[in-house]
Structure 1
Amino acid sequence: MTLTAILPTLRASLPDPVDPTLWPAHTEPTTGDVLVAAVSMVRLAELAGTPCVHTAEQAPPRYRPPTWTPGEVSVAVASVLRVRRPRTGVVLLELDAVLPRFAVLDQVRLIGRVSTAAPTGTYVLTPCAGAEDGPFHRLPAPLPADVREGDLLCFPCVAAIRHRDVVVPVRAEVVR
């Protein structure tokens, strides 16, 4: 439990901490953004649209062997398409991206705006499930309770992923 989780009003002046071993090297959190090797994830989403992926060098482990060489890891940015609140304290999100297999969901961050709302249990619907209310994943890290449509979510991936790994597949329909 972090200080910003206990006192959410501190998020306006103090960024939520990140685990440096799970994010790429040279990752710097701010109150409303994440900078990866001096690249703003908010600005990347503005330029490239969402979902988008940024690949960078892996951060060194705490105890690195002499033969260690850095690999590539990625950061994905997705936009919230729909928010439902079925009961108090539970938020159901629908994203414009597929959650990749290598996503570290306990490090998910709200970027693009600063929220001082208390954290709440958050679930993400898988967009390519096929059913209207397909399978959903509980996010280990709670997001602020005031998450809304259009918000940006940023999360690291422990392997290099491509844009096609996070894009929702489009199914063509034959019309006769």
Structure 2
Amino acid sequence: MTLTAIMPTLRASLPDPFDASRWPARTTPTIGDVVISAVSMVRLAETVGTPCVHTAEQAPPRFRPPAWTPREVSVAVASVTRVRRPRTGIVLLELDAVLPACAVLDEVRLIGRVTTAPTAETYVVTPCDGAADGPFHRLPAPLPTDVHEGDLLCFPCLAALRHRDVVEPVRAALGAEIR
């Protein structure tokens, strides 16, 4: 438990803590944004749209072996497209991005606005083949209960990603129409 989880009103004045070894080097969290090497993730999403990816150099581990060399890692920004609340304390989200296997979901952050709402158990619903409900992915890091459509979520990935790695794949039916 962190102090901002116990007292959510503190999120208006100080950022949630983060594990610097999971984010790229030179990452600075703020109360409403994540800045990586002087690039604001909120501004990146405003400029290029979502989903978007920013690639940077990996942060050094705490105990660095002598032969360690940094590799590239990424940060993905996705927009919430749909929110459902089936029960109190449970939030189901749909994103405009695909969650890559290398995503560090226990470091997911709400960016673009500051909220002091308490946190809730959050799941990401992955629509598949046009179905309304696909597989559910529980986010280890709870998000605020007042998350709504249009909010931006930012999460680190332990590999270098390309934009096409996070864009929702084209459905087979759409591909058949093109031919």
**1:8 and 2:8 aligned:** yes
Question: What is the DSSP-based 3-state SS (H/G/I as helix, E as strand, rest coil) of the residue aligned with 1:141?
Answer: strand
1:168 maps to what in 2?
168
Give unmatched runs, 5+ long, in structure 2: none
Is contact 1:81-1:94 (8 Å) kept?
yes
Shift of 1:174: 2.5
Matched, 1:66 2:30: no
Residue 128 of structure 1: how far off its partner (Å): 3.8
After the TM superposition, which residues 1-176 of structure 1 pair with which residues of structure 2 at under 5 Å, given as runs? 1-128=1-128, 130-171=130-171, 172=174, 173-174=176-177
Give the structure-2-normalised TM-score. Answer: 0.95
Contact 1:128 1:168 (8 Å CA) reproduced: no
Q: Do 1:21 and 1:59's aligned partners in 2 also have CA atoms closer than 8 Å?
A: yes
1:98-139 deviation per Cα after TM superposition (whole angstroms, max 9, x unaligned): 001100000000000001000000000113454220001000
Unpaired runs of 5+ residues, structure 1, are: none
Structure 2 letter corresponding to 1:21: S
- Taking the aligned partners of 2:167 and 2:41, their CA distance within structure 1 comes to 17
Report the residue type matching 1:71 in the other structure. R
Between the aligned partners of 2:40 and 2:128, the Cα distance in structure 1 is: 28
State the alpha-carbon separation in 2 of the partners of residues 111 and 128 from structure 1: 27
Distance 1:133 1:42 in 2: 29
Determine which structure has the larger helix proportion and give its number: 2
Deviation at 1:147, TM superposition (A): 0.2
Letter in 1 for 2:58: Q
| Structure 2 CA distance for aligned equivalents of residues 111 and 140 of structure 1 | 17
Q: Check conservation: 1:119, 1:144, Cα contact below 8 A.
A: yes
Query: How many equivalent pairs are there?
Result: 175
Summarize deviations over 1:55-90 as a string: whole Å, max 9, x none.
Answer: 000000001011111000000000000000001100
**2:95 partner letter:** L
Q: Secondary structure at the match of 1:53?
A: strand
SS at match of 1:86: coil
> Deviations along 1:15-61, whole A, 9 cap, x unmatched?
00110100000000000000011100000000010000000000000
Instruction: Give the partner amino acid of 1:23.
Output: W
